[in-house]
Homo-oligomer: A and B are copies of this chain.
């Protein structure tokens, strides 16, 4: 198995989640994060004057899938999270050695 860690734009999350479901990938864990990358931040206004902020709100999706689904998953995320502008985000693939259920005694490896 692999854990797909995708950091994407918050405004694209709903679309991606819907797309995942339609592709029979219901399981996902979602975290609100702040990210910094090439996007370069945003210019916030203060009472007078501005301030340049380098970290932006992003959403991290963590999805554990069998190895075979990795490619498809990346494709789906790209399709629905892409705007073509800097800040669209990254996808990292991490190896997972085992997955267990809390509810049952199921335990799978590989």
Contacts and interface: CB of A to CB of B under 8 A. Distances in A.
Contacts of A91: 99-102
B93 A96 contact: yes
Nearest to A84: B103
Contacts of A81: 102
Contacts of A60: 29, 31
B31 A31 contact: yes
Contacts of A1: 92
Which of A2, A33, A60, A81 has the most chain B CB within a 10 Å cutoff? A33
Interface of A: 1-3, 5-8, 17, 21, 26-38, 54-55, 58, 60, 64, 70, 74, 77-78, 81-103, 105, 107
